[in-house]
Amino acid sequence: MEQSTVKQSAAPILDVRDISVSFGGVKPVRGVSFSIEKNTFTSIIGPNGAGKTSLFNLISGANKIDSGEIYFKGDPIHSIHAYQVAQRGLVRTFQGAKVIRRLTVVENLMMAVQGNPGDNLWGFLNPSARKRFEISTREEAMLRLEQVGLSKFANDFAGILSGGQRKLLDLSRALMTSPSMVLLDEPFAGVNPTLVEKLLEVIADLRKNNEITFLLIEHDLETVMNISERVIVMAEGKIIADGLPNSIYDNELVIDAYLGSRRKGA
Ligand SMILES: Nc1ncnc2c1ncn2[C@@H]1O[C@H](COP(=O)(O)OP(=O)(O)OP(=O)(O)O)[C@@H](O)[C@H]1O
Ligand SMILES: [Mg+2]
């Protein structure tokens, strides 16, 4: 694998060590290793079917690895459930932007928050605690909706939102738990340029104000080059290049696997 110089800290927030998974005869992720430094923005690019979403499924705990190890903030996360990974501060958005269509937009966000006092006996017996929790969660959700320009849809069913608006809602949902790391799976795909600008603004604000580490899967190279401090290139389940954004353009392996056809098309 070709690698240009990207600063690596002694204690990365995410450390992926030689992970693989197979489903029947398909092996979407084959011995992938990388680590991510805190408060950085890294993009993953690669052809369709390269294994990018599969990699996110493994990191987020949606699928279990066959071999290897994954550490988040120094702790192993490869054997725990997806909800436990999220509880530790590592959340993801979905390529298809999952929303619950029959809940309102604001309820979709409220659902994301764990620790509802109604979930345990103490809370069950304390309606006022439940009410306080609901009020504060609703307030937080409304702020999130404001941030992405969706507050006017707060009480509409999420099913009425357009594809692009669902992506904004999915991002807000991920942010409801105040994560320290967010995995974004093609958040800009199929979103109109105005909403892409909106999403980029939201991300830029988050980077300025909070300390969130981002890992983005994205096909649009202009966006990737503008936003990323580092680019990882996957093809056929493996990392074929990893480095500073500019270095990717000159990498022969990347040109063959990914950029070649795009350059010709340009
Ligand atoms: N649960 C599964 N069962 C069987 N095959 C799977 C499963 N998950 C992923 N795959 C296969 O793994 C390969 C990689 O798919 P993946 O969705 O990770 O690619 P991708 O890089 O995200 O592509 P795209 O850019 O099109 O989103 C594909 O051939 C896919 O069919
Ligand atoms: Mg994908």
Host domain of residue 249: 2-99+161-265
Q: How far apart are CA 84 and CA 60, in angstroms?
A: 9
Has residue 114 been placed in a domain?
Answer: no
Q: How far apart are CA 148 and CA 57, in angstroms?
A: 25
Question: What is the CATH classification number for the domain harbouring 171?
Answer: 3.40.50.300
Question: Does residue 49 have its Cβ closer than 6 Å to ligand 1?
Answer: yes
| Digit-coded pLDDT (tens) for 110-148 | 988 866 555 666 666 677 777 888 899 999 999 999 988
Beta-bridge partner residues of 215: 42, 183
Has residue 110 been placed in a domain?
Answer: no
Has residue 78 been placed in a domain?
Answer: yes
Has residue 81 been placed in a domain?
Answer: yes
Question: Does residue 183 have its Cβ closer than 6 Å to ligand 1?
Answer: no
| Digit-coded pLDDT (tens) for 211-227 | 899 999 998 888 899 99
From the CA of 47, the nearest ligand is 1
Q: How far apart are CA 57 and CA 65, in angstroms?
A: 9
How many alpha carbons fall within 13 Å on the CB side of residue 149?
14
Task: Report which residue type is found at 89.
Answer: G
pTM, entire model: 0.88
Has residue 151 been placed in a domain?
Answer: no
CA distances from 84 to 61, 66, 92, 149 (A): 8, 19, 13, 30
Q: Are 71 and 15 in contact (CB under 8 A)?
A: yes
Has residue 123 been placed in a domain?
Answer: no
> Is pLDDT above 60 for 3?
no
Has residue 200 been placed in a domain?
Answer: yes
Q: Ligand 2 centre from 26 Cα, in Å?
A: 15
Beta-bridge partner residues of 104: 157
**Average pLDDT score, the chain:** 88
Closest residue (by CA) to atom 25 of ligand 1? 48
When divided into structural domains, the chain yields a total of 1
Q: Ligand 1 centre from 160 Cα, in Å?
A: 28
Tokens at residue 38, please?
Answer: 């805190």
Has residue 36 been placed in a domain?
Answer: yes
* Burial class (CB within 10 angstroms; exposed 0-12, middle 13-18, buried 19+) of 187: buried
Q: Are 221 and 266 in contact (CB under 8 A)?
A: no
